[in-house]
Amino acid sequence: MTKPSIWKNPRVKAAFPYALLLVPPLCWGGNAVLARGVVDILPPVSFAFWRWCIAFAILFPFARNSLKKDCTVMLKSWKIILLLSFFGIGCFNTLLYRAAHTTTAINVSLIQTIMPAMIILISRIFFKESIRGLQLVGVILCIVGASLIALKGKWHTLITMSFTEGDLLMLLAVFSYALYSAFLRKRPAVNPLSFLTIIFGVGALMLLPLYIMELLLRGFFPLRYAAILSILFVALFPSIIAYFCWNRGIEEIGANKAGLFMNLTPVFATIMAIIFLGESIQTFHITGMAFIFGGMVIFNRRG
């Protein structure tokens, strides 16, 4: 008699989407750091355009069979496909890469902490989702914790911070991805590979006119190893792997709960800095992480 699969265990099934949602902030923490690090060698639209083209090229051979089956369904759902491609693929990372040219890494991290609140607000407006008082407390604790890490525990930095064009672009980027996350519930019921392949391809096509304009203004970026490796990294990890886990996680537990995981981005960025850059862990790191994890526990309490 065969033993039941571990995946049939109710506890494992319940924990699975939460484990998946740990992956995107890990990948996006690396993406935010990299975006700031390559501003001198990769123009923002070119970076985003080639990211999605290569991600599409990697996925297409694996998704070809499922695309044939799902083609009719996706054509019928062309409006939501265009909307998700525009906000989640065409806008978010292009705006983030452009913002990285004119703002600091602290500002980029700090502004992203408001995304969970934006997702909840959009879900409330468009889908009439309610939020309990205790859940609101959880969201606030997560934002405080993520902000504490981004500001390195120096709250007075908020007073002296100068806000630039890049900060406004980051606000637009965060709003764009919040819309994508909230409206994912409307995506067609197709194979996840088919869905990702299509929105990556459509998103890249949407960027094509802007890419051509950037080429005319700035020319093609030099093919250095750093540029090629950076594009390959963001095509594979923050794109294919992170989007697959994010979409599946939202499908399982909803956009409001999943949105809180965005606050783990500065946590993972900090951990990577400690491991790879030799930085030391500080009191504000521990305090910020405690706020974030406490907020997530409170938000997910059954009331």
pLDDT per residue rounded down to tens, the chain (303 residues): 444 555 567 776 778 888 999 999 889 888 877 877 787 888 999 999 999 999 999 999 999 999 999 999 999 999 999 999 999 999 998 998 888 887 766 667 667 777 888 888 888 889 888 777 777 888 888 888 877 776 767 777 666 666 667 778 888 998 999 999 999 999 999 999 999 999 999 999 999 999 999 999 888 888 888 889 999 999 999 999 999 999 999 998 888 888 888 878 877 877 776 776 566 777 877 888 888 888 888 877 765
Report phi then psi at 96, rounded to 5. -65, -45
Q: How many CB atoms lie within 10 A of CB 285?
A: 21
CA 27, CA 278: separation in Å to the nearest integer? 19
* CA dist 242 → 21, 36, 158, 246 (Å): 8, 19, 30, 6
Residues 6+ apart with CB under 8 A from 27: 237, 238, 241, 242
Q: What is the pLDDT of residue 47?
A: 92
**pLDDT at residue 157, as a whole number:** 66
- The reported pLDDT for the residue numbered 279 is 62
Cα–Cα distance for residue pair 140/160, rounded to 1 Å: 23
The pair phi, psi for residue 189, each rounded to 5°, is -80, 80
User: How much is the pLDDT for 276?
Assistant: 67
Q: What pLDDT was estimated at residue 167?
A: 77
Contact in structure between 122 and 243 (CB atoms under 8 Å): no
**What's the pTM?**
0.84
Cα–Cα distance for residue pair 159/162, rounded to 1 Å: 9
